Amino acid sequence: MSDDEFLIAPDPKDPRLTERVEGADQDGNPITTSVTVERPLTLYLNSQEIVTMMSICDYPEYMAVGYLVNQNMIRPGDQITGIDYEKDIDTIVVRTAGETDFEDKLKKKTLTSGCAQGTVFGDVMESFDNVVLPKDAIIKTSWLYTLMKKINTRPSLYLEAGAIHGCVLCQRDRPLLYMEDVGRHNAIDKIAGYMFMNDIEGGDKIFYTTGRLTSEMVIKAVQMEVPILASRSGFTAWGVDLARQVNMTLIGRARGKRFVVLAGQDRIEYDAAAADAEGEPPALKRKGAAE
């Protein structure tokens, strides 16, 4: 496998994920454009209904497991005995060998700023005092510039149809897992599920997202024990505060030759000057509908 190959990457040609829709442009001329398809997916943990999510449903198994992992409903060491996805009734059931404590967590549910009402449970926040992210993790500016180029020029649903968020798990200057969805929390949950099911550690990884660096994104990166979080978008104040609290490196507004660091700057090695980086790639101009 070459360095620029992804373990998982978007497939914008998958006919399940987009539809062609007729409309008109700003001058009243008829057009046909691609739009992203979203579907409801109801998640059960054993016999308990947990949540209904709106998703493109390209990797429902990973998203379901990742959601449960990021909500602390499934913990390291828990044994998953089966995952049943019933496409015709938009339902997925995750089965575990032992009992889980989801009832208490459902009572402590808190809405986040996720664009499709993501949730975080109370004990996730309570565990922040005990978080220790790897201090020896680094990110070189040359890696960041290379990652942005590889990710932003990769064929994706964002370029095909828009109305989508992307999240990428990276190691050094290589993107590994690239997931997209209508909600950024869904995309990150897919990566969390893949990591859990394939025993992938987060301590030496970099997480890149197209979405805002909110409290939810920091919390979920912490859940996956990833010490470096980067985005081409901006920050929220609470996201910055949480990142500083757990000594996470938080890089935002990463576009072309520019980026801003608001937490964990000591992990950055400035080995490539901005003048040596390429500008924003023209591939970021989408072919399809606007978001």
DSSP class of 171: E
Q: What is the dihedral of CA 137, 174, 12, 35, to 10 degrees?
A: 40
Closest by alpha carbon to 170, among 149, 185, 186, 155? 149
Q: Which two tokens stand for residue 132?
A: 């220790």
Please give the pLDDT value at position 241: 96
The pLDDT-based confidence of 46 (bands split at 50, 70, 90) is very high
Residue 156 has pLDDT above 70, yes or no: yes
CB 154 within 8 A of CB 26: no
CB 34 within 8 A of CB 159: no
Please give the pLDDT value at position 182: 92
User: Distance between alpha carbon 102 and the CA centroid of its chain, in Å?
Assistant: 23
Burial 68-98, CB ≥16 within 10 A → b, else e: bbbbbbbeeeeebeebeeeeeebbbbbebee
The pTM assigned to this predicted structure is 0.86
| Cα radius of gyration rounded to whole Å, the chain | 19
DSSP class of 78: P
Residue 234 has pLDDT above 80, yes or no: yes
Domains and CATH numbers, the chain: 1-291 (3.40.140.10)
